[in-house]
C-alpha cells in the first residue's frame, strides 16, 4: 500500500499546494489584500463582461442549434470587441425635453450601487475585501439603491412609456428583494455571522468548529473538507433556500424569465429607451455586473465560497493541498462562472413571465416559502446546539 | 495626517447632507427634491459610519434610501399629471417661516456650542452587530415585539387604504 | 477619531431639524411636507447616534433603529392616505383640503 505509489501521490499533493506560492514567484512578497480588492474588481468585471457577452451569444447559438458568432476573429472571439467599438462611436442622442441631471446620472447610479456591493465579497483565504462585520447586510442594502437609478431613468426620459416601464421594473426589483433577503437570512442564521469571510471559512477544512454532513451529529466532516462541508450539504434544507435565492437573483438582475424592462423595449418602451451609445452600454454593464454579483454571492453563501470541492480521502489530502490563496480564487471564480452559465442557459430555455405572474410568484410563492424556510432553519439550529 | 483626512471626510459628508437640503428649500420641483433627499440621506449614512455606528448606517441605507424614497417617488408619480406644471409646488408664508426657523437654529447652535459636550475617549464597541442583536432580544424585547406587530398593522393598513374602491 | 468634536455633528443635526421644520411650514404639496418630516426624523436620529458613541450599551443606536423602522411605517400609511386624498380631491395641495365633506 505504501511505497512508490504513495510517494508519488505525496509529490503530486505538494505540487498542487505549491500553486499557492505563485505570487511569490512574481516578486510580491506579501499579498496586500486591500490593494488587491481595490485594483482587481473593476478590470475583472470589465473583462468578464467582454467574455460574458461572447459566451452568451455562443451559448444561445448552441441552445438554438446554430453556431453563433464565427466571423470576427477565430471562432468569433473578437465579436464583443467589435460590438464595443461600434457602441462607443455611436452618437449620444439626448432628447430635448429630458430632465437633464436625472437623465444623465441614472446609469451611473445603477452601476455604482451594484459595483459597490462587490466590496463585501471575500475572494480567497487572505483577501476579504472590506472586512467589516456587517458584510452581507451592507451588500443587500447598497444593491437596493439601484431602484433609484431605474426610477431616475424612467422619469428623466420624459416619456410616458419609459415611466411605466420604470415603475414596473422598480416594482419587480423591490418585490424580489424580500425572498432574496430572507434566503440570505437563512444562511446567516445557520452560520451565525453576517461577515462573508467567516461564512466561507466555516465551510471548509480551515474551520475550527465541527461540521456535520447532512446535519447528522455522528458524521463530523470538518477534517474531510471538500464539498461535504459546503452549506448545502451540511444542511440540506438550504437547497430550497439556494433555489429561492437563485430565482430572486435572476429577477434582481432583470434576466429572463424576468426581463420585463428589456422586453418592453421590443413592445412599447422601457426605462432605457431614450438612451443610446455608451450610456445604454452602462445599463447592460450593470446587468452583467449584477449577474456576476448574484452568482458570486450564491457561491459564497451556499456552495462553499473559495473552498475546494475535493475532499481529503485518507492519505490523499486533496482538500488541504487545494486550499490556499491562489486555489481559493480559482475555485470561487469557477463556481461563480458555473452559476453564470446556468443563468445563461435558463435565459434561452424559458419564456418570459407576464408582470402579474411575476408579482404572483414573488409575493404568493417565494416569500411564504422563504419565511417557512427561515422558521425551519431556526428550529434546526436550536435543535443542533 | 489622519486627523486631516478625518476632517476632510466629515466636511465632505456634512456638505453632502446640507447642500441638497438647501436645494429642497429653494426649489419647487418635487421629483428633484425627492432625489435631493436621497443624496442627503446617503450623506447622513456616511456620517453614521464616521461615528462608528455601522449597523445604523446600513439600516439607514436599506430602509431610507432603498425603501422610503422609493415609496415617496411612487407617491409622486401616482399623484401628478405628467405635464410640466404638474411637477412644481408653491410656497406660502416664506418670510415668517424663514424667520422662525433661523431663530430656532440660532438658539440651538448657541445651546450646543455653549454646552461643552464632548466625546469621551473610550474605545468604541467592536462587534456592533452582535451587541445590537443581543440588545434587541434582551433589554428591548418588548419594544421589538411591539414594533413587529406595528409593522404588520401598517402593512395591512396601507395595502387596504391604497386599493381602489369598488364604487365608481 | 476624536478629531471631530461632538458639537459638529449636533450642529448638522440642528440644521436638518430647522430646515425640515421650514419645509413643513412653507411648502404646499403634501409630498414636500413628508420630505420635511423625514428630515426632522433624521436630525433626531443623528443626535441619538452621535451620543451613543459614548455609550458602551449602544442604547442610542438601538433607539435610532426603532425610530427608522417607525418612520418607514409612517411614510407608508401617509402615502396611502395621500393616494386617497388625490383620488377624491384631484389635487395633492394641502390648502385645497378645507372642506369636511366633498
Q: What is the pLDDT of residue B164?
A: 75
Nearest residue, CB atoms, C4 vs list B6, B76, B92: B6
Angle at A162 between CA A157 and CA A163, to 5 degrees: 90
| A316 three-state secondary structure | strand
CA within 13 Å, CB half, A372: 9
Cβ–Cβ below 8 Å for C69 and B104: no
Burial class (CB in 10 A: 0-12, 13-18, 19+), B2: exposed
Location of C-alpha cell 473583462: A47
CA distance A173 to A150: 10
DSSP sequence for A34-52: HHHHHHHHHHHHHHHHHHH
A160-211 pLDDT, tens digit per residue, is 888 888 888 899 999 999 999 999 999 999 988 888 988 888 888 777 777 7
Q: What is the pLDDT of residue A269?
A: 63
Cβ–Cβ below 8 Å for A148 and B31: no
Q: Say which CATH number the domain at B12 has.
A: 1.20.120.1200
CA distance A137 to B66: 13
Omega within 30 of 0 (cis) for the link into C95: no
Confirm if A164 and B74 have CB atoms less than 8 A apart: no
Which candidate in C42, C51, C52 is best for mutational testing of the B interface (most B CBs within 10 A)? C42
Where residue A226 falls (left for φ over 0; alpha for ψ -120 to 50; beta otherwise) is left
Q: Please, what's the b/e burial string for A165-181 (b: 16 or more CB within 10 A of its CB; e: otherwise)?
A: bbbbbbbbbbbbbbbbb
Other CB atoms closer than 10 Å to residue A317's CB: what's the count?
A: 22
Interface check B110 vs C, CB under 8 A: no
Pairing relationship of beta strands A316-317 and A312-313 according to DSSP bridges? antiparallel
DSSP sequence for B46-99: HHHHHTT-HHHHHHIIIIIIIIIHHHHHHHHHHSS-SSGGGGB--B-SHHHHHH
Nearest residue, CB atoms, A160 vs list B73, B82, B130: B82
CA distance C8 to A359: 46
Location of C-alpha cell 431605474: A150
Confirm if A63 and A346 have CB atoms less than 8 A apart: no
CA A221 to chain centre: 27
In tens digits, chain B (168 residues) has pLDDT values of: 567 788 899 999 999 999 999 999 998 888 899 999 999 999 999 999 998 898 999 999 999 988 899 999 988 888 876 555 556 777 888 899 999 999 999 999 999 998 878 877 677 777 888 889 899 999 999 999 999 999 999 999 998 988 876 654
Among A263-267, A371-375, C34-38, the minimum mean pLDDT is found in A263-267
Among 3.30.110.40, 1.10.287.3510, 1.10.510.10, 3.40.50.300, what is the CATH number of C6-96? 1.10.287.3510
Q: What is the pLDDT of residue A264?
A: 59
Q: Is residue B76 domain-shared with residue B28, that is, in the same domain?
A: yes
Phi, psi of A237 (to 5 degrees): -60, -25
If you ran DSSP here, which 8-state letter would residue A158 be given?
T
User: Which residues sit opposite C27 in a β-bridge?
Assistant: B91
CA distance A227 to A238: 14
Does any domain span residue B152?
A: yes
User: Which residues 15-44 of C are in CB contact (within 8 Å) with B?
Assistant: 15-23, 25-29, 31-32, 34-35, 38-39, 42
Identify the H or E element spanning A312.
strand A312-313
| A222 band by pLDDT with thresholds 50, 70 and 90 | confident
Q: What is the pLDDT of residue C1?
A: 44
User: Which residues sit opposite B29 in a β-bridge?
Assistant: B88
C7-64 pLDDT, tens digit per residue, is 999 999 999 999 999 999 999 888 999 999 999 999 999 999 999 988 888 889 999 9
Q: In the numeric block, which cell numbers belong to residue A14?
A: 505538494
Q: In the numeric block, which cell numbers belong to residue B24?
A: 429642497
What value does the mean pLDDT take over residues C66-71? 94
Cβ–Cβ below 8 Å for B58 and A174: no
Using only C-alpha atoms, chain B has a radius of gyration, in whole angstroms, of 21
DSSP sequence for C31-83: HHHHHHHHHHHHHHHHHHHHHHTT-TT-HHHHHHHHHHHHHHHHHHHHHHHHH
CA A322 vs CA A3, A29, A67, A306, A327: distances in Å: 23, 21, 36, 10, 6
Other CB atoms closer than 10 Å to residue B74's CB: what's the count?
A: 17
Provide the angle, in degrees to the nearest 10, between the axes of the packed helices A79-88 and A33-63: 110
Q: Is residue B6 domain-shared with residue B64, that is, in the same domain?
A: yes
Interface check C101 vs B, CB under 8 A: no
Q: What percent of chain A has pLDDT over 70?
A: 88
Other CB atoms closer than 10 Å to residue B91's CB: what's the count?
A: 16
CA A196 to chain centre: 13
User: Which residues 46-105 of B are in CB contact (within 8 Å) with A?
Assistant: 54-55, 58-59, 61-62, 65-67, 69-70, 73-74, 77, 82
Residues of B within 8 A of A151 (CB-CB) are 70, 73, 77
A313-362 pLDDT, tens digit per residue, is 776 677 777 777 888 888 999 999 999 999 999 988 888 888 888 899 99
Q: In the numeric block, which cell numbers belong to residue A83?
A: 460590438
**pLDDT of A254 above 60:** yes
A91-107 pLDDT, tens digit per residue, is 888 888 888 888 889 99
Which long-range CB contacts under 8 A does C56-64 form with residues at least 24 apart?
A: C56/B122, C56/B125, C57/B135, C57/B139, C58/B53, C58/B125, C58/B128, C58/B131, C58/B132, C58/B135, C59/B135, C61/B53, C61/B55, C61/B56, C61/B128, C61/B132, C62/B132, C62/B135, C62/B136, C62/B139, C62/B140, C64/B53, C64/B56
CA distance A161 to A274: 11
CA distance A308 to A305: 8
CB within 8 Å of B40: residues ≥ 6 apart? B16, B17, B18, B20, B21, B24, C16, C39, C42
User: Which residues 64-93 of C are in CB contact (within 8 Å) with B?
Assistant: 64-66, 68-77, 79-84, 86-87, 92-93
If you ran DSSP here, which 8-state letter would residue A213 be given?
G
Cβ–Cβ below 8 Å for B62 and A137: yes
Q: Is residue B74 domain-shared with residue B16, that is, in the same domain?
A: yes
> How close C62 comes to chain B (CA, Å)?
7
What pTM did the predictor assign? 0.90
Interface check C49 vs B, CB under 8 A: yes
CA distance B47 to C43: 12
Residues of B within 8 A of A144 (CB-CB) are 61-62, 65-67
Q: For residue A171, give the nearest of A200, A141, A142, A151 by alpha carbon.
A: A151
CA distance A235 to A242: 11
Q: Which residue of B has its CA nearest to C44?
A: B44
Cα torsion angle, A218, A222, A224, A225, sign:
positive
A30-64 pLDDT, tens digit per residue, is 456 667 777 888 888 889 998 899 999 999 999 99
Cα torsion angle, A49, A55, A57, A59, sign:
negative
Last residue of a domain, one of B69, B91, B113: B91
Domain of residue B146: give its range.
126-168
Amino acid at each position: 500500500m505504501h511505497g512508490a505509489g504513495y510517494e508519488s501521490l505525496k509529490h503530486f499533493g505538494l505540487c498542487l499546494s505549491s500553486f499557492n506560492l505563485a505570487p511569490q514567484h512574481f516578486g510580491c512578497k506579501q499579498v496586500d489584500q486591500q490593494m488587491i480588492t481595490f485594483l482587481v474588481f473593476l478590470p475583472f468585471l470589465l473583462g468578464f463582461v467582454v467574455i460574458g457577452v461572447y459566451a452568451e451569444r455562443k451559448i444561445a447559438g448552441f441552445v438554438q442549434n446554430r453556431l453563433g458568432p464565427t466571423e470576427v476573429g477565430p471562432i468569433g472571439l473578437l465579436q464583443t470587441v467589435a460590438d464595443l467599438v461600434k457602441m462607443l462611436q455611436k452618437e449620444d442622442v439626448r432628447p430635448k425635453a429630458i430632465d437633464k441631471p436625472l437623465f444623465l446620472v441614472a446609469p451611473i447610479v445603477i452601476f455604482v450601487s451594484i459595483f459597490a456591493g462587490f466590496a463585501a465579497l471575500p475572494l480567497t483565504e487572505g483577501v476579504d475585501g472590506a472586512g467589516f462585520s456587517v458584510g452581507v447586510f451592507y451588500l443587500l442594502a447598497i444593491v437596493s439603491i439601484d431602484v433609484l437609478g431605474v426610477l431616475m431613468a424612467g422619469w428623466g426620459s420624459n416619456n410616458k412609456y419609459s415611466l411605466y416601464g420604470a415603475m414596473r421594473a422598480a416594482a419587480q426589483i423591490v418585490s424580489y428583494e424580500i425572498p432574496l433577503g430572507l434566503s440570505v437570512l437563512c444562511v446567516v442564521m445557520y452560520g451565525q455571522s453576517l461577515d462573508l469571510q467567516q461564512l466561507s471559512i466555516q465551510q471548509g477544512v480551515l474551520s475550527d468548529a465541527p461540521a456535520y454532513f447532512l446535519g447528522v451529529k455522528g458524521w463530523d466532516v470538518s477534517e474531510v473538507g471538500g464539498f461535504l462541508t459546503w452549506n448545502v450539504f451540511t444542511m440540506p434544507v438550504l437547497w430550497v433556500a439556494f433555489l429561492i435565492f437563485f430565482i430572486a437573483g435572476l429577477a434582481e438582475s432583470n434576466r429572463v424569465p424576468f426581463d420585463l424592462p428589456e422586453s418592453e423595449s421590443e413592445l412599447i418602451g422601457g426605462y432605457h429607451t431614450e438612451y443610446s451609445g455608451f450610456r445604454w452600454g452602462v445599463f447592460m454593464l450593470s446587468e452583467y455586473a449584477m449577474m456576476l454579483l448574484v452568482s458570486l454571492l450564491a457561491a459564497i453563501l451556499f456552495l462553499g465560497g473559495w473552498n475546494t470541492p475535493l475532499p481529503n480521502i485518507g492519505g490523499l489530502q486533496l482538500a488541504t493541498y487545494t486550499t490556499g490563496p491562489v486555489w481559493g480564487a480559482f475555485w470561487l471564480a469557477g463556481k461563480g462562472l458555473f452559476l453564470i452559465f446556468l443563468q445563461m442557459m435558463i435565459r434561452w430555455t424559458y419564456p418570459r413571465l407576464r408582470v402579474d405572474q411575476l408579482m404572483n410568484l414573488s409575493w404568493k410563492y417565494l416569500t411564504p416559502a422563504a419565511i417557512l424556510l427561515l422558521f425551519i432553519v431556526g428550529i434546526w439550529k436550536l435543535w443542533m446546539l | 495626517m489622519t486627523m486631516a483626512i478625518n476632517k476632510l471626510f466629515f466636511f465632505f459628508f456634512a456638505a453632502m447632507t446640507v447642500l441638497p437640503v438647501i436645494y429642497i428649500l429653494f426649489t419647487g420641483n418635487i421629483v428633484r427634491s425627492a432625489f435631493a433627499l436621497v443624496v442627503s440621506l446617503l450623506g447622513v449614512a456616511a456620517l453614521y459610519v464616521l461615528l462608528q455606528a455601522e449597523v445604523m448606517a446600513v439600516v439607514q441605507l436599506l430602509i431610507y434610501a432603498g425603501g422610503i424614497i422609493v415609496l415617496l417617488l411612487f407617491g409622486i408619480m401616482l399623484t401628478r399629471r405628467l405635464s410640466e406644471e404638474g411637477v412644481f409646488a408653491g410656497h406660502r408664508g416664506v418670510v415668517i417661516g424663514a424667520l422662525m426657523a433661523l431663530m430656532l437654529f440660532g438658539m440651538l447652535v448657541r445651546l450646543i456650542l455653549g454646552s461643552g459636550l464632548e466625546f469621551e475617549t473610550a474605545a468604541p464597541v467592536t462587534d456592533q452587530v452582535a451587541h445590537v442583536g443581543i440588545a434587541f432580544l434582551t433589554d428591548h424585547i418588548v419594544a421589538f415585539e411591539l414594533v413587529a406587530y406595528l409593522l404588520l398593522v401598517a402593512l395591512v393598513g396601507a395595502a387596504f387604504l391604497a386599493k381602489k374602491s369598488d364604487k365608481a | 477619531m476624536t478629531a471631530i468634536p461632538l458639537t459638529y455633528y449636533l450642529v448638522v443635526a440642528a440644521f436638518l431639524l430647522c430646515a425640515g421644520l421650514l419645509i413643513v411650514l412653507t411648502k404646499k404639496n403634501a409630498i414636500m411636507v413628508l420630505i420635511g418630516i423625514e428630515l426632522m426624523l433624521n436630525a433626531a436620529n443623528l443626535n441619538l447616534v452621535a451620543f451613543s458613541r459614548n455609550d458602551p450599551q449602544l442604547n442610542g443606536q438601538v433607539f435610532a433603529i426603532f425610530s427608522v423602522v417607525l418612520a418607514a411605517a409612517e411614510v407608508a400609511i401617509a402615502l396611502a392616505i395621500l393616494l386617497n386624498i388625490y383620488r377624491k380631491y384631484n389635487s395633492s395641495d394641502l390648502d385645497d383640503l378645507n372642506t369636511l365633506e366633498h
